[in-house]
Structures are given as structure tokens and as C-alpha cells.
């Protein structure tokens, strides 16, 4: 994104700032609209919301290939966030269909696809940008989203029974049926921190690698380093989901947070792109446990009739992390240097670990969570 912002005519330190705005703007509008789409999904089904999101994003993402300046790029990124919501609705669909005792495995398998696509995309994007140009990357994304629309229409089935108005729960009634409210909000916080950490380096990663002395094949190397995290998540996610079902998702979540803190702290000490790539690969193992762990715990404490709304609220916090993370990362990079981005985000992961530890200790009925 930072190199594309440069191509659109932005110069100097403003590249970091505008790259951060471009990355976070989509998440900002998505954070506001996500609860609306979640409420509609509880009323009309998750599949229609998935089709709506994929079809709209076909045009908003594909259209970025034709933007003439930075302001049109940000406008399309904002519009993209308005219509997003494929991932939370697919997560809610799987959570509502799978037996709760296997939810960790089912959501871990889904998370494998989500994480793999999100993190391996930069490798494919880097190759295409290097060979054909950056604008062709957006055209390819538009094509993939059109394909996703067709696959969802013809390949996804949902056993959805619309509820009568009398049975529909308002937000207050829904929250009243969840006794572990501190765990609920702790999981929302964890989703926000996961995305903040992942996105904090998004605007500056290419520039950080360039500062290490890498000048040749810069976009390809950057994509490869980002994708290293996706590869390890693919290998680990479904297996860690099964492990969470056995040992308790809350225990696995705490272990993954502590592990992620250590790895991200070490990223600040990387001196070469190879070292950074290895650490990003190791970091993906922690992400492979965090995402399905949060989803599985939310599924276990949420009444079925409100599951789309709870997942949409969780996605709102996830999007807020996507807004704050890039802006925080670019601001820290400009004022303190690239290494401090990693120190700051590592500290946030450690803080989240202590928050979740306290939440779980408060409910030593967490056994109750694991058993439900």
C-alpha cells in the first residue's frame, strides 16, 4: 500500500501517513456498519449477507485499479468497508451449524482459510505487482471476489429458520442471557488487539525492509515475509482448534497470547529480512490459535438466536483494531522509529494477556465454558 500511495503522487513522510489512512479507512466504516449487517443476518440468514458483501466488494476492490489519486483511493476504501462483512457472517454460519463440542475444530478449519487468504495474498500481490504493475493486483482481487460471489450462491447451504418477531431478542435481552459478560468483552478486546498487532506494521513493513538494506525485488520480499505468517497459520490452525476443544479454549488462548508477546518483542531485534521472515512464520503459530480460540469461546457463551449479532460486535472491535493499528504503527514509525512499533504492539499483547487471565480467573466456572 505504501508503494501504491507513492505511485499516486504522495511524497516524503506523508507516504507513511496516507498509507496508514488508506489501510485503516475500510476498517473504520466497517466497524460502524458491522452490527447493522449482523442484526439483518439474525433476521434473514447469513448466506444472503455473504452474497451481498462479496458482490459489492467485487466493484469496490476492483475499482481501485482505476483511481487517479490518493483521495479516490481512500473514498473506495471507505466504501469497501460499508459493504464488507463476509468473514463474520461465514464465521457465524459455521458456528450456528456445527455442534458446540466440535466448534473449535470447525472454526479453526475456517480460520485456516481466512488467515491463509489474508496473509498469503500479499505474496501473490507482490509477484503480480512486480511483474505486471500494482493496479493489476486490484483487478485480480475483483475477479476473485466475483468468483466468491458465485461459489457462495451455488456452493453454500444454510439451514436457517427465520424467527418470529416475538422470539427475536433485543440487544439488552441478548446480553442478559450471557452470564460471563467480562469474558465476552475481554474476547472483544482480544479481537481488537489481534488486528492492531497484525495491521500496525502493514503501512511500514515494505519501508522497514528497505531500511534493512533490501533494495532488489522489494515488493516480492515484503509479500513473502507477510505470507510466512499465513503459511504457519495454515499448518497450525485446525490442529490448534482440536487442541483447544480438548484442553479448553481459554487455556490455549492464554498460552497463545503469551507466546505472541515473546515473538513480537523479538521482531524488533531482527536485523535482516530473513530473520524477520522467520519470526513472522513463528508468529503465525500464535495467530493460528488466537482467531479460532476467540470464535469458539464466543460461540460457547452465546445463545444461538443472537450469534450473528455477537460475532458482528466482535468484528466491530476487530475492525477498530484495523483502524487504530495502521495509524498507530505509522505514527510511531515516524516519531520514534520502526523498532518501536514492535515494542509497543508486544506490550499491548502482554496487557491483553493479563486482562484475559483476570477474566478467566473470575469465572473458575470457565470449566463451564469449556463443557458447554
Quote the Cα angle for 203-208-209, to 5°: 115
Q: What is the pLDDT of residue 366?
A: 44
**How far is CA 21 from each of CA 62, 136, 327, rounded to the nearest angstrom?**
19, 22, 7
* Whether the Cβ atoms of residue 104 and residue 91 lie closer than 8 Å to each other: no
Per-residue pLDDT 10s for the chain (372 aa) are 778 888 888 887 788 788 878 877 887 888 888 888 888 888 888 999 999 999 999 999 999 999 999 999 999 999 998 998 898 888 888 878 877 777 777 877 787 777 677 667 777 887 888 888 889 989 999 999 999 999 999 999 888 877 666 666 667 778 888 878 888 999 999 989 988 887 788 777 888 888 888 777 777 787 778 777 777 877 777 778 778 878 888 888 999 999 999 998 998 888 888 898 899 888 888 877 887 788 888 888 888 777 778 888 888 888 788 778 888 888 898 888 888 999 999 999 999 999 999 988 876 554 444 444
b/e map 352-364, b = 16+ CB within 10 Å: bbebbbebbeebe
**How far is CA 89 from each of CA 39, 93, 94, 325, rounded to the nearest angstrom?**
11, 6, 9, 23
Quote the Cα angle for 297-34-348, to 5°: 55
Q: For the chain, what percentages of helix, strand and coil (3-state, to nearest 5) are there?
A: 85, 0, 15
For residue 194, the tally of other CB atoms under 10 A from its CB is 24
Q: Which of 169, 162, 357, 329 is nearest to 258 (CA)?
A: 357
Q: What is the pLDDT of residue 142?
A: 94
- Tell me the residue ranges of DSSP E strands in 126-195: none
C-alpha span between 140 and 143 (Å, rounded):
5
Q: What is the pLDDT of residue 288?
A: 74
Residues whose CB falls within 8 Å of the CB of residue 120, separated by 6 or more in sequence, listed in order: 227, 230, 231, 234
Residues whose CB falls within 8 Å of the CB of residue 154, separated by 6 or more in sequence, listed in order: none
How many residues are recorded in the chain? 372
CA torsion, ordered 208, 213, 218, 220, to nearest 10 deg: -90
Model pTM above 0.75:
no
Q: What is the pLDDT of residue 152?
A: 95
Amino acid at each position: 500500500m505504501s508503494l501504491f500511495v507513492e505511485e499516486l503522487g504522495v511524497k516524503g513522510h506523508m507516504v507513511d501517513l496516507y498509507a496508514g489512512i488508506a489501510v485503516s479507512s475500510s476498517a473504520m466504516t466497517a466497524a460502524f456498519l458491522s452490527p447493522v449487517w449482523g442484526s439483518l443476518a439474525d433476521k434473514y440468514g447469513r448466506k444472503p449477507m455473504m452474497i451481498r458483501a462479496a458482490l459489492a466488494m467485487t466493484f469496490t476492490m476492483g475499482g481501485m485499479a482505476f483511481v487517479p489519486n490518493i483521495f479516490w483511493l481512500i473514498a473506495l476504501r471507505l466504501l469497501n468497508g460499508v459493504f464488507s462483512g463476509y468473514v463474520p457472517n461465514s464465521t457465524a454460519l459455521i458456528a450456528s451449524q456445527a455442534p458446540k463440542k466440535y466448534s473449535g475444530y470447525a472454526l479453526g478449519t475456517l480460520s485456516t482459510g481466512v488467515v491463509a487468504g489474508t496473509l498469503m495474498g500479499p505474496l501473490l500481490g507482490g509477484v503480480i505487482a512486480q511483474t505486471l504493475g500494482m493496479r493489476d493486483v486490484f483487478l485480480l482481487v475483483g475477479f476473485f471476489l466475483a468468483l466468491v460471489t458465485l461459489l457462495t450462491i451455488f456452493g453454500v447451504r444454510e439451514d436457517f429458520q427465520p424467527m418470529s418477531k416475538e422470539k427475536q431478542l433485543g440487544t439488552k435481552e441478548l446480553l442478559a442471557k450471557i452470564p460471563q459478560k467480562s469474558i465476552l468483552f475481554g474476547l472483544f478486546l482480544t479481537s481488537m488487539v489481534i488486528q492492531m498487532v497484525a495491521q500496525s506494521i502493514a503501512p511500514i513493513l515494505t519501508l522497514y525492509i528497505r531500511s534493512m538494506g533490501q533494495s532488489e525485488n522489494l515488493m516480492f520480499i515484503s509479500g513473502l515475509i507477510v505470507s510466512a505468517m499465513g503459511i504457519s497459520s495454515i499448518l497450525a490452525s485446525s490442529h490448534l482448534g482440536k487442541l483447544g476443544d480438548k484442553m479448553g479454549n481459554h487455556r490455549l488462548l492464554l498460552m497463545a497470547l503469551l507466546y505472541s508477546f515473546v515473538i513480537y518483542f523479538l521482531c524488533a531485534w531482527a536485523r535482516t529480512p530473513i530473520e524477520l521472515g522467520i519470526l513472522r512464520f513463528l508468529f503465525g503459530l500464535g495467530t493460528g490459535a488466537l482467531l479460532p480460540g476467540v470464535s469458539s469461546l464466543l460461540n460457547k457463551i452465546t445463545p444461538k438466536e443472537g450469534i450473528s449479532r455477537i460475532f458482528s460486535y466482535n468484528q466491530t472491535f476487530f475492525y477498530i483494531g484495523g483502524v487504530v493499528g495502521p495509524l498507530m504503527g505509522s505514527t510511531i514509525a515516524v516519531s520514534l522509529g520502526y523498532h518501536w512499533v514492535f515494542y509497543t504492539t508486544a506490550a499491548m499483547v502482554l496487557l491483553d494477556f493479563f486482562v484475559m487471565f483476570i477474566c478467566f480467573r473470575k469465572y473458575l466456572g470457565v470449566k463451564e465454558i469449556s463443557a458447554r
